[in-house]
Amino acid sequence: MDLAFGRTMPNNPLSVASSSVGRPLLRDNSFRIPSPIMQPRGGSACGMSSGMSSAALDWELNGLRSSPGLHFSAPRTTQAIPGCMDLVKVRNSNALSLSFATEGHEDGQVSRPWGLCVDKMGHVLVSDRRNNRVQVFNPDGSLKFKFGRKGVGNGEFDLPAGICVDVDNRIIVVDKDNHRVQIFTASGVFLLKFGSYGKEYGQFQYPWDVAVNSRRQIVVTDSRNHRIQQFDSEGRFIRQIVFDNHGQTKGIASPRGVCYTPTGNIIVSDFDNHCLYLIDPDINDILSVKGHEGSGFHEFNRPSGLCCDDEGRIIVADSKNQRILVFNQNLDFMWDIEVRPSINPLMPPTLDEKDRTCDVAIMPDGRIVFLIELSPDSKEGSNPYKRFVHVF
């Protein structure tokens, strides 16, 4: 069974009572012919209003659907690591097995990175944000190759962020401050780009994260347009889901991290409203919302990047709480990884107590790999021994 965010779980005082979730604004434009806007049905950004049937929250792992249109013929199963031959299942390990990527501008060093993913060979790909490049590391942490530089041309970046790899081994990178997405071959050769600054279909205002499913459909969090957008493998617009008009307490949503579940649903982290959305793109609905601000095991403080394993477990970089959280498919807490050395003695002592988790992925053998970022008030270059990528 897939996620059941909205179910009230036994002995879980933080579970959300069964009720409805506001429907997002959505335009389905698979063939560039916009359909009518589906109006929202109320509810706060991280709360639920009454009236939704429980059937909307109940679905089976094997209840796979397909839809007409571009790349819609593939089943809705989605792998944690596209193309991986083995089942990827996150494992609970309290042993730090590897740390790499110190701060700087040389090869293998990073500057304010955000965004990482893992390919089927176990390579770790990092969006090296301030260095305006992507670096690809071998499974042992050594640098394999890099590509990109600052600019607006093909293959150039202005603060790249989210990154993922599709089943064809293409590397998909959010070029955040250029307000676009770029796609490269597995060796970093530019293939295509899509997006520009704006609010229309296919445009972005500071896109942040990206994920891809078995249909090769690309989903992008469009942070300042308060929506996610979905595209086909060539960057042609399919649909958008807008989170405006849901905020009755804190206001507009701020979508940050995104991933697909094994059954093809979408999970989005809301950075400002401290919660996760579960979305079914095929029925154009938010199925459930979970979480609120706090430091408990079912609470978040600026949730950021996230991913799923092949059995539906969810791993979240809970950034301002400085930890990685692991949940089962019903979003019941399983375990966490604290990154503060004062709390977790397994973390390298070179880390600062203010360092935050920003993105997370899974290695083919189930180990968790995560990226840390400096807190906004930290001084860059203050610790030459600090490493930004950690594998547990």
> Could you report the per-residue pLDDT of 4-29, keeping only the tens digit for each?
454 333 333 333 333 334 444 443 33
Whole-angstrom Cα distance, residue 317 to residue 340? 14
Residue 78 domain flag: yes
Where residue 50 falls among pLDDT bands split at 50, 70, 90? very low
Of 185 and 286, more confident = 185
> Could you report the per-residue pLDDT of 96-136, keeping only the tens digit for each?
999 999 999 999 999 999 999 999 999 999 999 999 999 99
Sheet of strand 190-194, all strands in order from the earlier edge strand to the far edge? 160-165, 171-175, 180-184, 190-194
| Residue where the block lists tokens 């979240």 | 316
Q: Supply the pLDDT for residue 346.
A: 84
> Could you report the per-residue pLDDT of 149-169, keeping only the tens digit for each?
999 999 999 999 999 999 999
Burial 286-321 (b: 16+ CB within 10 A, else e): bbbbbbbbeeebbbbbbbbbbbbbbebbbbbbbbbb
Residue 20 domain flag: no
Residue 63 domain flag: no
Category of 101 on φ-ψ map: left (φ > 0), alpha (ψ -120 to 50) or beta: left
User: Helix, strand, coil proportions of the chain in percent (round to 5)?
Assistant: 5, 35, 60
Reduced to 3 states (helix: H, G, I; strand: E, B; else coil), residue 54 is: helix
How many domains does one find in the chain?
1
Q: Supply the pLDDT for residue 321.
A: 96
- Say if residue 62's pLDDT is above 60: no
Q: Give 37's DSSP letter.
A: P
Query: How many CB atoms lie under 10 A from the CB of residue 209?
Result: 29
Mean pLDDT of 180-200: 98
Residue range of the domain that includes 252: 26-31+69-391
Which percentage of the chain shows pLDDT scores above 90? 66
Chain mean pLDDT for the chain: 82
Whole-angstrom Cα distance, residue 140 to residue 276? 32
Reduced to 3 states (helix: H, G, I; strand: E, B; else coil), residue 227 is: strand
Strands (E), 13-76: 25-28
Q: Give 22's DSSP letter.
A: P
Of 254 and 375, more confident = 254
Q: Supply the pLDDT for residue 74.
A: 55
Where residue 72 falls among pLDDT bands split at 50, 70, 90? very low
Q: Supply the pLDDT for residue 243.
A: 83
Q: Supply the pLDDT for residue 306.
A: 98
Mean pLDDT of 139-149: 98
Mean pLDDT of 207-232: 96
Residue 380 domain flag: yes
CB of 355 closer than 8 Å to CB of 339: yes
> Could you report the per-residue pLDDT of 167-183, keeping only the tens digit for each?
999 999 999 999 999 99
> Could you report the per-residue pLDDT of 262-278, keeping only the tens digit for each?
999 999 999 999 999 99
The pair of structure tokens assigned to 113 is 């990175």
Mean pLDDT of 179-193: 98
> Could you report the per-residue pLDDT of 278-335, keeping only the tens digit for each?
999 888 778 888 999 999 988 999 999 999 999 999 999 999 999 999 999 988 999 9
Residue 250 domain flag: yes
Q: Supply the pLDDT for residue 286.
A: 84
Q: Supply the pLDDT for residue 269.
A: 96
CATH of residue 270's domain is 2.120.10.30
Q: Supply the pLDDT for residue 245.
A: 53
Q: Strand 285-290 relative to strand 275-280: parallel, antiparallel, unpaired?
A: antiparallel
Mean pLDDT of 358-387: 88
Q: Supply the pLDDT for residue 281.
A: 87
Of 4 and 147, more confident = 147
Residue 13 domain flag: no
Of 195 and 13, more confident = 195
Where residue 385 falls among pLDDT bands split at 50, 70, 90? confident
Residue 323 domain flag: yes
Q: CA triplet 275, 88, 257: central angle to 5 degrees?
A: 25
Burial 325-334 (b: 16+ CB within 10 A, else e): bbbebbbbee
Residue 48 domain flag: no
- Say if residue 363's pLDDT is above 50: yes
Where residue 90 falls among pLDDT bands split at 50, 70, 90? very high
